[in-house]
Amino acid sequence: MLIERKWKKWIFFYIPMTVFILFTLFPFYWMAVTAVRPDPELYRTWRQASATPFWTLEPTLEHFRELLKTTAFPQWLWNTMLIAIVSTIISLICGMFAGYALARLKFRGSEFLGTAIFVTYLVPQTLLFIPLADIIREMHLGNTPWALMLTYPTFLIPFCTWLLMGYFKTIPKELEECARIDGATRFGAMVRIIFPVAIPGILSAGIFAFTLSWNEFIYALIFMSSAELKTVPVGVVSELIRGDIFFWGQLMAGALLGSIPVALVYSFFVEYYVTGLTGSVKG
Amino acid sequence: MVGAGSAAGAALPGERVRISRLTRMLESEKLLAAALLAPGVVILVLFIAYPFVMAIWFSLTSIRVGDAGEFVGLANFTKAWSDTIFQVAFKNTVFYTFWATIFKFALGMWLALLLNRHFRFKRLIRASMLLPFIIPTVLSAFAWRWMFDPTFSVMNWLLFHSGVITDRLPFLSDGDWAMWCAVLVNTWRGMPFFAITLLAGLQTISPDLHEAAALDGANAWHRFWHVTWPLLMPVTLVVVVFSVIQTFSDFQLIYVLTGGGPANSTHLIATYAYQIGVASGLLGEGAALSLFMFPVLFAVVWVQLRFMKRMEGH
């Protein structure tokens, strides 16, 4: 419909788009290059000339080897994965139930509860971490995976509930009514009719919740103290900086390895993730 | 009811009564709603509402690790208010939130408009644009810290060898520079969130509107300003609210990038609260510092709720 001249397309589209792509992806590229660059090349000061500043001719896996040898990195990966999966499942179950109740059932205070859950969605972790650490200790959950599996749902449940409530509202009521006429209970109709139809929504909420858990930092930093119980972000921060010395090769190797699982999950479910992301802010 | 009764027909009589009573109870909308909401509400009350009350209690006492302390009234708040580090942290938080939100919005909008066009590899490019938002912030912030490194910075290398600078730039070793670097990294991380949500908003706008405006002689800028922008207003407001809350309460980015240094010049409220409440063990003072975020967050949430109410009215 709107025909553009070639030079205009370059100025208004190709050049800005290229700059955006470079800006967005360069840090990841730099992370990868640093991870495979041998130490003598890595620690070359900013004034020194370099024949290959943006790549390396002698890629090495030395940093990865050191990382796996000196730290409990595989264990951190496993912890992060387990905690992310369990907290996502807990949040999905709570969110599916609560979302259904708020979308479909009539009861007093439903509007108030909906608003209250939305408000908890907006409570940041940094507002409550000090008393929460104390509560976790009192409940004898400190330094156990359950400390995170039970607290991550505090920021995942509101989001799952909100997203799924919106999704359930788009499912025609007649579907359920038919099942009810055929003798299904309310609960049965919800589990066997509504939930299966809502699988795309559930998947979106789940993928988004998984990436949020993988990303969480402050609770994991405060609630877990043993090295072998840490999650990837906390492990990388606390074990790869010894004193004032940053082991940049290993740090970037760890950052790369710690990013791959979540990036893989994301790449398989991009469309669901985007639905979750855009749905997460829709009222 | 009949279906449930006959399904449980093989069970013991007592069992059957119990099952049918449970199913009957779950047929009541109120009781079913209560049962369905219970698990989520329990978790939220236990780990959000209760800690919130505790935070207020803590902030009014002199509690520290291993010492319950005593009631001190508003002493923690007045102490924080006259604490110069806290004053800097508060100013930094406002500065950081203000500029990062503006940049994220402006660049995010631009990117959304670019992504809304037809081009090759569109899906791949859109997917890779979201990477900064997916990858754990702590890990990507380390990559940035390495790029800002005083001695080995690739950016200093690039600028020096292309003749732009003759001496290195003090990216993280100067307080003012470091705050701008933090704004840059936060923008980098949050821009995709704005872009993708605004893109979703753009895609709901019918191309007919643009075509009609173009036929009436509106140029690209007018079409954006009079057609796209008003229609994007609702989604914009929501995204800005979310982003302001996240940015104002941010912790991880500063924790990794500068740790509050040099000389406590780059603390945010959250990182300073961590330093006092966790690293120094002064739970009462730390809780009070965190609560300084509350009025701002409350105001933002209130605006959001008012807006949602108004949207429902239409």
> What is the pTM for the complete model shown?
0.91
Over pLDDT 90: what percentage of chain A?
A: 65
Pick the more confident residue, B110 or B22.
Answer: B110
Q: Give the pLDDT mean for B120-124.
A: 90
Residue B65 maps to a domain:
no
Task: Judge whether B29 is closer than 8 Å to chain A, CB to CB.
Answer: yes
Mean pLDDT of chain A: 90
pLDDT tens for B162-203 read 888 888 888 998 999 999 999 999 999 999 999 999 999 998
B contacts of A126 (beta carbons < 8 Å): 249-251, 269-270, 273-274, 290, 293
CA dist B285 and A24 (Å) reads 39
Q: Taking each helix axis from N to C terminus, what angle separates B84-115 and B175-203, rounded to the nearest 10 degrees?
A: 40
- A101 and A234 inside one domain: yes
- Residue B240: domain span: 75-313
Residues 73-92 of B with CB under 8 A from A: none
β-strand partners of A246: A241
* Residue from the list A98, A131, A217 with its beta carbon closest to the beta carbon of B138: A217
Which of B20, B43, B185, B269 should one mutate to test binding to chain A, selecting the residue with the greatest count of A CBs within 10 A? Answer: B43
Q: Give the pLDDT mean for A46-63.
A: 83
Domains in chain A: how many in total? 2
Evaluate if residue A243 carries a pLDDT over 70. yes
B5/chain A closest Cα distance in angstroms? 11
B173, B262 contact by CB (below 8 A): yes
At residue A182 the predicted structure's pLDDT band, cuts being 50, 70 and 90, is confident
pLDDT tens for B256-301 read 999 998 999 999 999 999 999 999 999 999 999 999 999 999 999 8
Which of A10, A93, A127, A173 should one mutate to test binding to chain B, selecting the residue with the greatest count of B CBs within 10 A? Answer: A127
Q: Give the pLDDT mean for A6-33.
A: 93
A230, A237 contact by CB (below 8 A): no
B contacts of A102 (beta carbons < 8 Å): 37
Domains in chain B: how many in total? 2
Residue A3 maps to a domain:
yes
- Residue A186: domain span: 65-280
| 3-class DSSP state of A242 | strand
Over pLDDT 70: what percentage of chain B?
A: 93
A53/chain B closest Cα distance in angstroms? 8
Residue B69 maps to a domain:
no
Please tell me the predicted confidence (pLDDT) of residue B238: 87
Please tell me the predicted confidence (pLDDT) of residue A282: 65
Instruction: CATH number of the domain at A271, please.
Output: 1.10.3720.10
Please tell me the predicted confidence (pLDDT) of residue B11: 46
Evaluate if residue B314 carries a pLDDT over 80. no
- B295 and B154 inside one domain: yes
Residue A57 maps to a domain:
no
CA dist B207 and A68 (Å) reads 54
B contacts of A282 (beta carbons < 8 Å): 235, 238
